[in-house]
Chains A and B, each alone.
Chain A
Amino acid sequence: MTHRGSRVLHVGSLSRVEGEGALSLHVHDGTVTDARLEIYEPPRFFEAFLRGRSYTEPPDITARVCGICPVAYQMSACAAIEDACGVSVDPVIRDLRRLLYCGEWIESQALHIYLLHAPDFLGRPSAIDLARTHRAEVERGLRLKKAGNSLMELLGGRAVHPVNVRLGGFHRTPARTELRSLTEELKRALDDAWETVRWVAGFEFPDASIEADLLALTEPDTYAIEGGTPAVLRANGTTDSFPVRDFTAHVTERHVVHSTALHSWLDGRLHLTGSLARFAISGRLLSPVALEAAVAAGLGDPREGTPCLNPYRSILVRAVETVYAVSEALRIIDGYEPPAHPYTEVPPVAGVGHGATEAPRGLLYHRYEIDADGIVRSALLVPPTAQNQSAIEDDLRRLAQRAISEHDPDDDELTALCERAIRNHDPCISCSTHFLDLTVVRTSGESTGGRDV
């Protein structure tokens, strides 16, 4: 038995997140004094071994940072290196990149919604278990995910670490008929994505609200995916933006003792990037069908500009973004005419280049310095989860504090609450991490007990 005011609680490994990490919560006399998302990913040193490689290699190499969002790494790397070399690609290539990225959005958002997040709302340990009672829904989720993977496989060669991306474009561009062969599967996926919106809209959502600035890329007339300008919606309602090349002047990284991922701050404040940020900043630019889906999801009309700040409801925004990605894929395939050449030549130029794109989990920034021979001199990768880490901790602290003040949950309930609070943000700990372990330390005048959950 442990005393509620004074106890230690461990969860061996936080499940249903990408990668593994640890978490500790310190409670002193009923007040949460510290909440930490501890990232223990064994460091893999990408930024170190990219030095000395050819400037053509980062798209393939950095894909290996994360198996869940390899396209995001490939696209940010291409954008940054092409920027350094002063090359901009043909609009058809840009569309094909967006199409590949749509595949990743569909696959990754469906994975998060069905396999990682939905079981929380239905009180189940996994989608596999959920399939016992909700077989049709889980099958629908797998079918939707597969449609995203089919797109990645056709255009990229395979779903994890596609091989077809290169600087300036693709090694091989598909014929019209090849892309068209996906239309039927994608039409079915549009129905499935729409049904997903309806399904998740029926879940119960605890009240909550994040208190962080939001950061996402913006484009003048489309929902940003494969490029754009960083824009900020501050917690006080004001907005501003800055060029990608100034990214590190605004987003600064700090190394804290409990993490092998660097924490970052936006102009000294907490910020969150990802679905909630994109939807708040660019929601009005969604396609008609996705706008309709947003209304059906109970998110209001994005054209009226009400952001969704409840992290539990992020599953709704992901579902709407999935509808969007499928509709975009269908639009691009429909208008596709193969380009004259699969890629634009990118001859090396000594200099520094910056690139940012919207990974499913948020803005992913790359910077490379290359020399005149095309050898990488330095590399910097700022993944979304490192940016979100402080805001996630803040959210966790707030949700845990509220629960403790309102009804003082027991260890199991508090653990479940903390795990949910983290899953709400779909952290990609692989992009930065390893072992997620929950420790709740409650202190008061009494001794500290401990137990394993």
Chain B
Amino acid sequence: MPLPKLAVFKLASCDGCQLTLLDCEDELLALTGAVEIAHFPEASSTMAPGPYDLTLVEGSVTTPEDAERIHTIRADSRHLVTIGACATAGGIQALRNFADVDEYRRTVYAHPEYISTLATSTPVSAHVDVDFELRGCPVDRRQLIEVITAFLAGRKPDVPDHSVCFECKRRGTVCVTVAHGTPCLGPVTHAGCGALCPAYHRGCFGCFGPSGSVNLPALIPLLRRDGLDDDAVVRYLHTFNAPAFDKELSQ
């Protein structure tokens, strides 16, 4: 039996989510025994054409070329999984969605006319059907292995959508909001990191995007109480998963 074919594609991103796969040092060689790495330019010069059994896509759609390319990638993939905040929510570069991109272009480049870009940064799911979205900026290594293993075994990945608060409780971390009045997005942020920031004595800044059930009207007064003014609240929510939280903010 031939091995299932794995492909990794990158759109606009920092490479951090695909690097997380190479950071699975203990599992990497075992993984390459279980799948054929058919297309993964960051790791290999051998690039086999599709179809692929499992495709991981990192990054968001920000150029006309990528808006087309993602359809080809979808057509070539039996299962398509997006990895990271860029691919699932538009990522940090989606801050342009709330601004004037022409002005951005003029700010950064001496010759804005050389730069081709879309006015928005959108998640992959805005363009094609996606079989699973793994969150995080970056994704968590354990969750990434779980998702790959689940797809190879033909089962649903075990990735719960409760909030970071649950992970703090499980880890036994003292609540930074209750104990220290530190602003924290943990109550509305998707679990997955293992409640990393509170364990390092800081509030969650939402890098995994919104959790399954989000109650912003309950959280915002707490953020204000802990010292954030209106602008700061919006800035806090508008960072790595801005469009996803914005949807919640406008509801």
Which residues does A use to contact B, with CB under 8 Å?
A: 12-20, 41-49, 51, 53-54, 57, 60-61, 64-68, 70, 111, 115, 119, 125-129, 131, 135, 138-139, 142-143, 145-146, 149, 157-161, 163-164, 166, 171-172, 253-257, 260, 262, 342, 419, 430, 434
Contact in complex: B42, A16 (CB < 8 Å) = yes
CB proximity of A178 to chain B, nearest CB, Å: 12
Contact in complex: A48, B115 (CB < 8 Å) = no
Contact in complex: A255, B200 (CB < 8 Å) = no
Neighbour of A68 across the interface among B19, B46, B63, CB < 8 A: B19
Chain A residue nearest to B37 (CB atoms) is A128
A159 to B20, CA, bound (A): 8
Chain A residue nearest to B60 (CB atoms) is A42
Q: A48-B107, A126-B43, A131-B32 are in contact. Are A60 and B205 (CB under 8 A)?
A: yes
Tell me the chain B residues, 69-100 only, with Cβ under 8 Å from chain A: 91-93, 95-96, 99
Mask: chain B, 101-128; 1 = CB below 8 Å from A; 0 = not: 1011101111100110100000000000
B235 at the interface (CB under 8 A from A): yes
Which residues of A lie under 8 Å from residue B199 when comparing CB positions?
157
B251 at the interface (CB under 8 A from A): no
CB proximity of A353 to chain B, nearest CB, Å: 19
Interchain residue pairs with CB less than 8 A apart (6): A15-B47, A45-B101, A49-B92, A163-B200, A260-B115, A430-B14
A119 to B66, CA, bound (A): 30
Contact in complex: A43, B109 (CB < 8 Å) = yes
Neighbour of A131 across the interface among B20, B29, B107, B239, CB < 8 A: B29
Which residues of A lie under 8 Å from residue B16 when comparing CB positions?
64, 66-68, 70, 160-161
A419 to B202, CA, bound (A): 43
Q: A15-B45, A260-B115 are in contact. Are A166 and B37 (CB under 8 A)?
A: no
B250 at the interface (CB under 8 A from A): no
Other 4 A-B pairs with CB < 8 A, given A16-B43, A43-B115, A128-B43: A43-B105, A68-B19, A160-B23, A254-B110
B17 at the interface (CB under 8 A from A): yes
A126 to B44, CA, bound (A): 4
CB proximity of A234 to chain B, nearest CB, Å: 27
Contact in complex: B23, A157 (CB < 8 Å) = no
Which residues does B use to contact A, with CB under 8 Å?
A: 10-20, 22-23, 25-26, 28-29, 32, 37, 41-47, 62-63, 66, 91-93, 95-96, 99, 101, 103-105, 107-111, 114-115, 117, 137-138, 193, 196-197, 199-202, 205, 207, 232, 235, 239-240
Chain B residue nearest to A73 (CB atoms) is B14
A390 to B114, CA, bound (A): 18
Which residues of A lie under 8 Å from residue B200 when comparing CB positions?
157, 163-164, 171-172
Contact in complex: A257, B46 (CB < 8 Å) = no
Which residues of B lie under 8 Å from residue A48 when comparing CB positions?
96, 99, 103-104, 107-108
Contact in complex: B25, A142 (CB < 8 Å) = yes
Neighbour of B12 across the interface among A44, A171, A172, A419, CB < 8 A: A44
Which residues of A lie under 8 Å from residue B44 when comparing CB positions?
15-16, 125-126, 128-129
CB proximity of B31 to chain A, nearest CB, Å: 9
Which residues of A lie under 8 Å from residue B207 when comparing CB positions?
161
CB proximity of B158 to chain A, nearest CB, Å: 21
Which residues of A lie under 8 Å from residue B10 when comparing CB positions?
19-20, 434
CB proximity of A179 to chain B, nearest CB, Å: 15
CB proximity of B244 to chain A, nearest CB, Å: 16
Contact in complex: A149, B23 (CB < 8 Å) = yes
CB proximity of B91 to chain A, nearest CB, Å: 8
Contact in complex: A149, B95 (CB < 8 Å) = no
Which residues of A lie under 8 Å from residue B193 when comparing CB positions?
158
Which residues of A lie under 8 Å from residue B96 when comparing CB positions?
45, 48-49
Which residues of B lie under 8 Å from residue A51 when comparing CB positions?
107
Contact in complex: B42, A157 (CB < 8 Å) = no
Which residues of A lie under 8 Å from residue B114 when comparing CB positions?
255-257, 260
Point out which of A60, A158, A262 has the most chain B C-beta atoms below 10 A from its C-beta.
Answer: A158
A149 to B22, CA, bound (A): 11
Contact in complex: A18, B99 (CB < 8 Å) = no
A171 to B196, CA, bound (A): 12
Contact in complex: A61, B42 (CB < 8 Å) = no
A171 to B182, CA, bound (A): 12
Point out which of B25, B107, B207 has the most chain A C-beta atoms below 10 A from its C-beta.
Answer: B25
Point out which of A49, A53, A157, A171 has the most chain B C-beta atoms below 10 A from its C-beta.
Answer: A49
A139 to B12, CA, bound (A): 31
Which residues of A lie under 8 Å from residue B235 when comparing CB positions?
53-54, 57
A68 to B41, CA, bound (A): 15
Contact in complex: A142, B29 (CB < 8 Å) = yes
Interface pairs A-B: 5 shortest CB-CB: A67-B16, A126-B44, A48-B104, A255-B110, A146-B25
Neighbour of B14 across the interface among A67, A149, A419, CB < 8 A: A67
Contact in complex: A163, B104 (CB < 8 Å) = no
Contact in complex: A145, B43 (CB < 8 Å) = no
Point out which of A15, A135, A149 has the most chain B C-beta atoms below 10 A from its C-beta.
Answer: A15
Contact in complex: A19, B15 (CB < 8 Å) = yes
Contact in complex: B108, A166 (CB < 8 Å) = no
Contact in complex: A161, B45 (CB < 8 Å) = no
Chain B residue nearest to A13 (CB atoms) is B41
Contact in complex: B47, A13 (CB < 8 Å) = yes
Chain B residue nearest to A135 (CB atoms) is B29
Neighbour of A255 across the interface among B15, B104, B109, B138, CB < 8 A: B109
CB proximity of A87 to chain B, nearest CB, Å: 19
A57 to B137, CA, bound (A): 15
A302 to B172, CA, bound (A): 51
CB proximity of B124 to chain A, nearest CB, Å: 14
Contact in complex: A18, B42 (CB < 8 Å) = yes
Which residues of A lie under 8 Å from residue B46 when comparing CB positions?
125-126, 129
Q: A67-B15, A129-B46 are in contact. Are A171 and B110 (CB under 8 A)?
A: no
Which residues of A lie under 8 Å from residue B103 when comparing CB positions?
48
Contact in complex: B43, A160 (CB < 8 Å) = no
CB proximity of A352 to chain B, nearest CB, Å: 17
A146 to B202, CA, bound (A): 26
